[in-house]
Structure 1
Amino acid sequence: MSRQAEQRDTATVPKPSAPGAVRPDLEQVFRASYPRVVAVAAKVLGCQNEAEDVAQEVFLAFGRSSVPAGAAAGWLSVAAAHTALNHIRAGRRRADREEAAGVDGLVAPDVADTVVASEDRRRVRTALARLPRRQAVALVLRHSGLSYAEVAAALDLSLGSVGTTIRRAETALREELES
């Protein structure tokens, strides 16, 4: 990269000046990208409330980042998928700890989750969390409405490999669900 291009890239990357500083473009990026971030997280989690919590985490991380505004949409979509997958894994670990401690009956289930989540959705989310991260994220992004080009840009893949990655993810997901 030439020195001029490097300086130009550095000049367009907002850097918070001090701890706790807010990016000047945060509100604009938030307003433009919030619905998509929540949609991606909801696809993974199957719960709108949890998806909104994930969106908060993602935008807090974005606010502290030096991601260029032009790359924000892809970065935010990938971050939403990763964060949502982490929530699934954390929930599974918490449930394992609670079961081991014998407190299963003491924890009241969330009524909204009980109504929204069916056994099939739980199985799919659990199977999705067991897939290789790149495959899981590609599958979630594609089924969240992103085009092949957007998935390729978000995951830094060639456009030609997106279909292969998604097809392998679907095959792996099917195998996880059958086991």
Structure 2
Amino acid sequence: MAVSTPSPAAPVRSDLESIFRSAYPRVVSVAARVLGSRNEAEDVAQEVFLSFGRSSVPAGEAMGWLSVAAAHTALNHIRSGKRRAAREQAVRGDGVAPDIADAVAARDERAQVRAALSRLPRKQAVALVLRHSGLSYAEVAAALDLSPSSVGTTVRRAESALRKELNRHAPSE
């Protein structure tokens, strides 16, 4: 049985395995914060590392690049999944058993936050996700090409914009 090797048109980085081993947990964590699902986050991580494997990003910038790519890719998954979610909601209907009402309410709140996050300007959304994923101000600054002193302002503006989005799209009772 022949072993498949990458084509010459798409060379794979020689440092991919070592970077993958060190960065995978953070990439999955960033994506999971956006998506709320570890399984979906692992799918996003695969996409991110496939792209990274063919990139020329310097190894020293890998963690920031991978974190931003994870946030961007996860946000893209949210945006592309909105139609699917609407179809699923239509199929489920409105009948909710009282014993699962709290779980449904919590899931709906998380879905509202994710939807609001997807409506923010990309740089704000990514800064918010990266910061709340545990990256330091310096790491967020490096990943988004900002000055470290502007990260706090960007994150606060993103939080404010997120609150406004949540209030604007809050269901009326």
Question: TM-score, normalised on structure 2?
Answer: 0.82
Q: For 2:10, what is the secondary structure of its paired residue?
A: coil
Q: Which residue of 2 aligns with 1:23?
A: 13
Residue 17 to residue 71, structure 1, CA distance change in 2 (3 Å): farther
Alpha-carbon separation, structure 2, partners of 1:52 and 1:151: 21
**How big is each residue's C-alpha offset from its partner over 1:123-170, in whole Å with a ceiling of 9 and x where there is no partner?**
100000000000000000000000000000000001111011000000
Q: Which residue of 1 aligns with 2:96?
A: none
Where does 1:27-176 land on structure 2 (aligned, <5 Å)? 27-95=17-85, 98=87, 104-105=90-91, 118-176=107-165
Q: For 2:70, what is the secondary structure of its paired residue?
A: helix
Question: TM-score, normalised on structure 1?
Answer: 0.79
Alpha-carbon separation, structure 2, partners of 1:62 and 1:19: 15
Alpha-carbon separation, structure 2, partners of 1:63 and 1:79: 13
Q: For 1:118, what is the secondary structure of its paired residue?
A: helix
Alpha-carbon separation, structure 2, partners of 1:44 and 1:133: 13
Which structure 2 segments of 5+ residues have no match? 1-5, 93-102, 169-173
Alpha-carbon separation, structure 2, partners of 1:56 and 1:70: 20
Which structure 1 segments of 5+ residues have no match? 1-15, 107-113
* Partner amino acid, structure 2, of 1:83: T
- Residues 1:177 and 2:163 aligned together: no
